[in-house]
Structure 1
């Protein structure tokens, strides 16, 4: 009897040499899941650790339990405002499996162990006697004078009544990537409430139906962009209270906007004072010991995904954000780094290298468990993998040999655009390479396409707008100031974004402010800039100023998103190539009901330009990047009807337009 092949091998015969490895991936997942279910009944209950560990009120016992997993510790003590920070007056008792516990009854501590009180746990170990922040603490605050961080008691009874939002089935995602702290124009920290009041309406107006929130988990260094997390269950207090964050999410839901969290489970800070490092006195409690536990590029620590307590910590974290904050899914940071001991560095060019060389099997099993958990809690939630390795099966079902993500980030796309702008003149652009980069994905692998993200906006790099226009943006963005560099930049900025959206995937992502070509990079407060917030903000006044050209880019972005969304273009998995004209740098393709014509040529405008369309009939222009409302030159008549007739010799339907240079046109058959 012929053995049934895993689904990802059926889809991609290139994987036939590693069919056994794919089967082993499935086996490891089921083996780990079975071992969890044998002890905890279900994966869902296993992920309830945040209700047991940390500080939780017990209504039956009428008091607070504080429990901490610290297997190698000699003794733990709870200290805080409630006992005048006495480091030895409240010892915890070791109970089982390396867990320590103390109970504070309500009657005795009702006036001292209260909402807002600060706490720490003193850990006596081979590493000394040190104050630490509880691992499962739900709020962490920084003292303004000492700059030290402490845990804070936070008892929330937020009313979620009426929030029944779910991402509509089969709705395509238009994601607005955002950072609350730098979302305001003021030189300082933005807040959750300011974001809900000031930025959500702009996102809604711009046509985006999801936000991807960065820097949610507490991180001691603001300039890490939120990627060096210390306290995994604590929403950062820089931007407000947990209730403020919940209010933001509820407000977004009321506007039909999903909220996706940028979750960091790929690594954590080395900090001993704020983080998990050496918590029980060893370097191997949460992490791989020695050099294996250190990320050489990120100067951070790597979780040991083979430990049951570690994956329980992380899975519990996933459930916590879904259940307690109503997030609608996650973008998992650093997935490529997690899946390989070499962290995705180097060439992976064969199936054997994908499945056998330096593969962190435990991390892959963890990611499978995380995806199963997410979709069991909320079947409509989305999970997105940030992976540059191209791991086969990343966004395929676990039963098919996949890892279970809903989407992968098309990380090669923004890298391609930056490389193109840096290394090639306009007339050297290879339209066949452009097509290949946008469409180079396996069938069934849903991809989030994006032309640029926050990575390109940081100091040391440049956004697309800056690569295109550079310093001229400072001097020539007035609407009455024609300038060749700015004209080129605006034209190509629009074309690159539409080309990416129309061809690159089944979802689209834009970073906050890039839709209107935000002119400044991001530079967080640091010693090198005298701790300034000047570049850690978004200048919304630029796009709202009618005298400046930024409005043209914003207008086009809104029209572009609206067109793709309204005509359900992303329902088609791929575009269909209709014409590749290297001489005139023109690409014509259809996707869904629409026909797209891109002329990337720097100078060639061709009257009566002929190209093939899917069928004969009358076509109308529904989007034209050369329109004056988008900062174009109004060279094309949008009032005309363009008839497509059958060609006498080849039998294809043929249509003719004025094909102007550096222009994207979208046509719809009437």
Structure 2
């Protein structure tokens, strides 16, 4: 028999209230030098200690009186510490296990220091659940940050979800808890069970740094091995830096994986990651896009949030497969010459009890005051960006997607909601900053630091901000006071131009400025022109259904608008379904209406978008100077009476300029004279009114030659036919 345990200590172990079970369980040296082993295994009848290598029986442990499930015993001799394992029996069954309390710490001093300091750039390699080997024994190392918890346990299908079985070791003042659990393998389900500072049991928590999750509505984390992929995209990774420059063509296809395409023969299930790797990648490449952008794929419990309320920031959603399956999608995109961008949500998180909300019983990730820590628009919580550990958690997550999954870009959601403390709040519902202002200084500092960190580690990627205010310098370098993003979504352009397009053509002359106003600030940021998912939901209707007129005019309007967009300065983004004229508003619960492509108007729309992408990518004047005023010149931006817009796009020296003419009335204009900056022949490169696209066939086949007749302030001009509800592209092919 061993020296008797203090009854309170034994009771705390049995009740799962002991904050440091490693000081009690496992092997310990007693005052007389003998070796004692103590274990806690409820629901077993017998516990034996075996020598790990030889299997020799070292001791049969005795039940501890008054502490059901606890066993202890003295090992033979005083030969020092033993390498041992356990043989457990219940009735006629017996099995062998390693004792988790026989193993020491895994986290090193450097990890602990960086975690405590909040500067661990690869935090996910220290925290989370990692398959590893300890002293020749395979298992999983679990680690989690919970500084205000009185006790943290890992529970799962490997210990009957019993929080008393694997209580973790606290690592000093950092608030990190860890344990190596032998025998746990990939695919194991787990959560963390915590007692708050007052000893109250909290709801079971998913791992904040978990790499996998159960299929919703189940909420457990899943052990996943991140180290098994051999990447085959070296060619892409070596050259992608060039594809993300502001002087390169960027045309993004935005996709919600769950509703892009479904399998009707299998109850309408969504495609898997690997099926998307085949079908989505081939389609986007064929359509001429340069990038695919995915709505958030971090694990999210509520499908109706489309991923914008994530719980598992480090876990690709299990709806479509495993992390390894998601890597296959990324790799397929790269193999087809496509970049892959994901929407990233550091702006808020949901209140689900298994998530980050009051994770250790305190406002750990969020602010305690709802005036700072609650989003009324989305019923979500706001991260405490001023806490170094929280900022580290988020910035490391950004790097995680770039490094573990070779993601090419992060589009940061809801940046405006992060920048301002009064966002969507009434007077009295928000707290001013230290200077009395409305700016969220901590969030601003976080965004700058995030961009600095990810670009320093991966200068060949891009970050994009969804930001809808006039906050200055969103895409300016941080050393000049900017936020450091590579690009900013031009929400003002989107809102203004869609309002204009929704007007009946007869009234458009009264709203002419909505199409021209964007050029007043077009070069203040590195802009992306987004026709995103937000424009085809919540009763807004699809892009096609929002166009005025009969069916022919609706298609013509949308074709003309797409032409206007591709001729306008700024990179391009189009949400799925828009490219073939989806009639119905987007529904995340069902597939796009691919059957519409059996109808010629929809096929024509699809051909147009494909050809616009081809023209755009192959015409430097349409992208090289996107962010510079010298790349754009109005020819006539003031013809409100006829709702005609004309302008020239220019590239670097030596590149042929492009003339773009948009007519937003159903009236064909014959003999229409337009000034051009240079003499020579102007080829008609693309006409959205071409019969191939479903148009009326009005245009200028073969192009036109400029004459020395001045117009619109230009020494030369051309006389053209301007098709109805159409955009036409001309490019200079001959010099003077």
TM interval, shorter chain, is 0.7 to 0.9
2:582 is aligned with 1:582: no
| 2:478 aligns with one of 392, 398, 402 | 398
Tell me what 2:219 maps to. 149
Find the counterpart in structure 2 of residue 456 from structure 1.
Answer: 535
CA contact (8 A) 2:233 2:331 kept: no
Q: Number of aligned residue pairs: give it.
A: 591
Alignment of 1:305-324 (within 5 A): 305-324=385-404
Q: Identify the residue that residue 47 of structure 1 maps to in structure 2.
A: 121
Matches within 5 A, 1:417-566: 417-422=497-502, 426-430=506-510, 432-441=512-521, 443=523, 445-450=525-530, 452-468=531-547, 485-505=550-570, 507-524=571-588, 533=589, 536-543=590-597, 545=598, 547-566=599-618
Q: Do structure 1's residue 205 and structure 2's residue 286 form an aligned pair?
A: yes
- Can you list the C-alpha shifts for 1:498-527, whole angstroms capped at 9, x where unaligned? 21222142x110101111111222234xxx
Unaligned runs of 5+ in 1: 1-35, 470-483, 525-532
2:151 is matched with which residue: 75, 78, 92? Answer: 75
Measure, in 2, the Cα distance between the counterparts of 1:59 and 1:74.
28
Could you tell me how far 1:191 is from its partner in structure 2? 1.6
- C-alpha separation in 1, matches of 2:509 and 2:222: 56
2: distance between equivalents of 1:71 and 1:41?
A: 12
Q: Which of 217, 223, 230 is equivalent to 1:159?
A: 230
Distance 1:598 1:648, change over 3 A: closer
* Structure-2 residue corresponding to 1:596: 660
- Matched residues in 2 for 1:40 and 1:122: separation? 25
- Give, in whole Å, the separation in 2 of the partners of 1:136 and 1:41: 13
1:662 alignment partner in structure 2: 725
| 1:93–1:441 CA distance, 2 compared to 1 (3 A) | same
* Partners of 2:144 and 2:178 within 8 A in 1: no
- Report which stretch shifted further, 51-60 or 291-300: 51-60
Change (3 A) 1:640 1:51: closer
Deviation at 1:80, TM superposition (A): 0.9
**1:467 Cα deviation from its structure 2 partner:** 0.9
Q: Within 5 Å, which residues of 2 pair with 1:23-38? A: none
Q: Is the 8 A contact 2:252 2:574 kept in 1?
A: yes
Q: In terms of Rg, which structure is larger?
A: 2
Could you report, residue by residue, the CA deviation over 1:453-481 in whole angstroms, capped at 9, with x for unpaired residues? Answer: 10122242212201126xxxxxxxxxxxx
SS of 2:720's equivalent? strand
Given the superposition, is the C-alpha separation of residues 42 and 416 from structure 1 closer, same or farther in structure 2, using an over 3 Å criterion? farther
Asked if 2 retains the 8 angstrom alpha-carbon contact of 1:183 and 1:195, the reply is: no
Please name the residue that 1:25 is paired with: none
Q: Is the 8 A contact 1:420 1:429 kept in 2?
A: no
CA contact (8 A) 1:138 1:235 kept: yes
What does residue range 631-650 of structure 1 map to in structure 2 within 5 Å? 631-647=694-710
1:305–1:311 contact (8 Å) kept in structure 2:
yes
Please give the per-residue CA displacement for 1:334-364, whole angstroms capped at 9, x wherever unaligned.
Answer: 11101111127799xxxx99x9731111111
Q: Any idea what the Cα deviations from partners look like across 1:238-270, whole Å, max 9, x if unmatched?
A: 111111110000000011100111001000011
CA distance in 2, matches of 1:280, 1:376: 33
Equivalent residues of 1:431, 1:585 under 8 A apart: no
Deviation at 1:286, TM superposition (A): 0.5
User: CA 1:426–1:190 in structure 2 vs 1: closer, same or farther (change >3 Å)?
Assistant: farther
d(CA) in 1 for partners of 2:713 and 2:327?
Answer: 60
Return the match for 1:629 from 681, 692, 695: 692
Q: How far has the Cα of 1:57 moved from its partner?
A: 3.9
Q: Which has the higher mean CA deviation after the structures are superposed, 593-602 or 49-58? A: 49-58
Matches within 5 A, 1:354-365: 357-365=437-445
**Unmatched 5+ residue regions in structure 2?**
1-109, 651-656
- The farther-off stretch of 119-128 and 392-401 is 119-128
Deviation of residue 660 (structure 1)? Answer: 2.9
Output the CA distance in 1 between the equivalents of 2:402 and 2:702. 49
Q: C-alpha displacement at 1:114, in angstroms?
A: 0.7
Where 1:496 maps in the other structure, the secondary structure is: helix
Distance across 1 between alignment mates of 2:706 and 2:300: 59
Aligned positions of 1:184-199 closer than 5 A: 184-186=261-263, 187-199=268-280
Where does residue 624 of structure 2 map in the other structure? 571
Query: Secondary structure, in 3 states, of the residue corresponding to 1:465?
Result: coil
Residue aligning to 1:123 = 194
Structure with greater helix share of residues: 1
Please say if residues 217 and 236 of structure 1, whose CA atoms lie closer than 8 Å, have aligned partners that are also in contact: yes
- Inter-partner Cα distance in structure 1 for 2:566 and 2:135: 56
**Which stretch of structure 1 is more off in the superposition, 215-224 or 605-614?**
605-614
Asked if 2 retains the 8 angstrom alpha-carbon contact of 1:76 and 1:100, the reply is no
1:653 corresponds to which of 716, 719, 722: 716
* Alpha-carbon separation, structure 2, partners of 1:609 and 1:649: 12
The answer to whether the Cα contact below 8 Å between 2:509 and 2:640 also exists between their aligned partners in 1 is no
SS of the residue corresponding to residue 386 of structure 2 reads coil
Q: Deviation at 1:228?
A: 0.6
1:183 aligned residue: 260
Residue 420 of structure 1: SS of its match in structure 2?
helix
Once residues 235 and 649 of structure 1 are traced to their aligned partners in structure 2, the CA distance between those partners, rounded to angstroms, is 55
CA contact (8 A) 1:427 1:602 kept: no
Give the CA deviation at 1:437. 3.2
CA distance in 2, matches of 1:517, 1:246: 31
Alignment partner, residue 46 of structure 2: none
Give, in angstroms, the shift of residue 162 of structure 1.
4.2
How far 1:314 moved relative to its partner? 0.4
Q: 1:652 to 1:245 in 2, by over 3 A?
A: same
Partner deviation per Cα, 1:177-198 (whole Å, 9 max, x = no partner) = 1111111143332221121111
Kept in 2: contact 1:431–1:586 (CA 8 A): no
Deviation at 1:417, TM superposition (A): 3.2
- Alpha-carbon distance in structure 2 between the residues aligned to 1:458 and 1:383: 25
2:368 matched to which residue of 1?
289
Q: Does 1:615 align with 2:673?
A: no
SS at match of 1:128: coil
Shift of the 654–431 alpha-carbon distance from structure 1 to 2, 3 Å rule, reads farther
Aligned equivalents of 2:510 and 2:234: distance in 1? Answer: 49
Contact 2:674 2:712 in 1 (8 A): no
In 2, Cα distance between equivalents of 1:161 and 1:200: 16
Distance 1:89 1:502, change over 3 A: same
- Give the Å deviation of 1:652: 1.3
Conserved? CA contact 2:501–2:557, under 8 Å: no
Q: What SS is found at the alignment partner of 2:141?
A: strand
| 1:576-625 residue CA offsets vs partner (Å, 9 max, x unmatched) | 1012322222111100210011111233x222111100111121211111
CA distance in 1, matches of 2:327, 2:714: 59
Residue 45 of structure 1: how far off its partner (Å): 6.2
